[in-house]
Amino acid sequence: MSQQFPQILNHFYTFGLLNIFLLYILILAYSDKKTLLWYGAFVLSIGLELFNYLGLNFLYNYSTNLTLAYLPWIAFVPISLYKYVLLRLNVNGKNQKRNFRFMLITFFTVFLYFMIKSYYVLLGDLNLRDQFFLTEFTYPKIEYWINGAIIITMEITGICLTFTIIKPFKLNFRNDVYILLAFLFIITTIHIISFIDSIISGPALIISNPNNFYLTVLTILGLIISYRKILGLNYKPESLQQKTVNEKTKSDNSQLKIIEEKILVVMEEGDLYKNPKLQLKDLSKAVKTSDNYISEVFSKQLETNYYDFINSYRVEEVIRLMKLETHIDYKLMAIAKEAGFNSKTTFNTAFKKSTGLTPSQYRKQLS
Tens digit of each residue's pLDDT (9 = 90 or more) over 270-299: 778 888 888 888 888 887 777 777 878 877
Q: Amino acid letter at 199?
A: I
Average pLDDT of the residues of the chain: 74
CATH number for the domain formed by residue range(s) 304-367: 1.10.10.60
Task: Kindly give, in sequence order, each residue whose CB lies less than 8 Å from that of residue 304, ignoring residues fewer than 6 positions away.
Answer: 298, 312
Q: Which residue has the higher pLDDT, 208 or 75?
A: 75
Please say if the pLDDT value at position 363 is more than 80. yes
Q: Which residue has the higher pLDDT, 44 or 70?
A: 44
Average pLDDT of the segment spanning 66-77: 72
Task: Kindly give, in sequence order, each residue whose CB lies less than 8 Å from that of residue 365, ignoring residues fewer than 6 positions away.
Answer: 357
Q: Amino acid letter at 108?
A: F
Greatest mean pLDDT among 34-38, 59-63, 275-279: 275-279
User: How many C-beta atoms surround the C-beta of residue 184 within 10 A?
Assistant: 23
**What residue segments make up the domains of the chain, in order of their start?**
5-235, 244-272+280-303, 304-367
pLDDT at 97: 87
Q: How far is CA 83 from the centre of its chain?
A: 4
Which residue, among 318, 323, 320, has the nearest Cα to 333 in the 3D structure? 318
Query: How large is the greatest C-alpha to C-alpha distance in the chain, in angstroms?
Result: 100
Q: How confident is the model at residue 147 (pLDDT cuts 50, 70, 90)?
A: confident
Average pLDDT of the segment spanning 193-215: 64
Residue percentage of the chain with pLDDT more than 70: 65
Average pLDDT of the segment spanning 302-313: 84
Q: How confident is the model at residue 160 (pLDDT cuts 50, 70, 90)?
A: very high
Task: Kindly give, in sequence order, each residue whose CB lies less than 8 Å from that of residue 86, ignoring residues fewer than 6 positions away.
Answer: 92, 96, 100, 165
Please say if the pLDDT value at position 108 is more than 50. yes
CB 295 within 8 A of CB 303: no
Give CA–CA dist 61/298, Å, rounded: 66
Please say if the pLDDT value at position 63 is more than 60. no
Give CA–CA dist 218/183, Å, rounded: 9
Average pLDDT of the segment spanning 250-267: 72
298 — phi, psi (to 5°)? -60, -45
pLDDT at 137: 44
Give CA–CA dist 73/77, Å, rounded: 8
pLDDT at 176: 76
Each as own residue / partner, the long-range contacts of residues 344-353 (CB below 8 Å, 24 or more positions apart, any chain) are: 346/311, 347/314, 347/318, 350/308, 350/311, 350/312, 350/314, 350/315, 351/315, 351/318, 353/308, 353/311
Residue percentage of the chain with pLDDT more than 90: 5
Give CA–CA dist 89/34, Å, rounded: 12
pLDDT at 15: 59
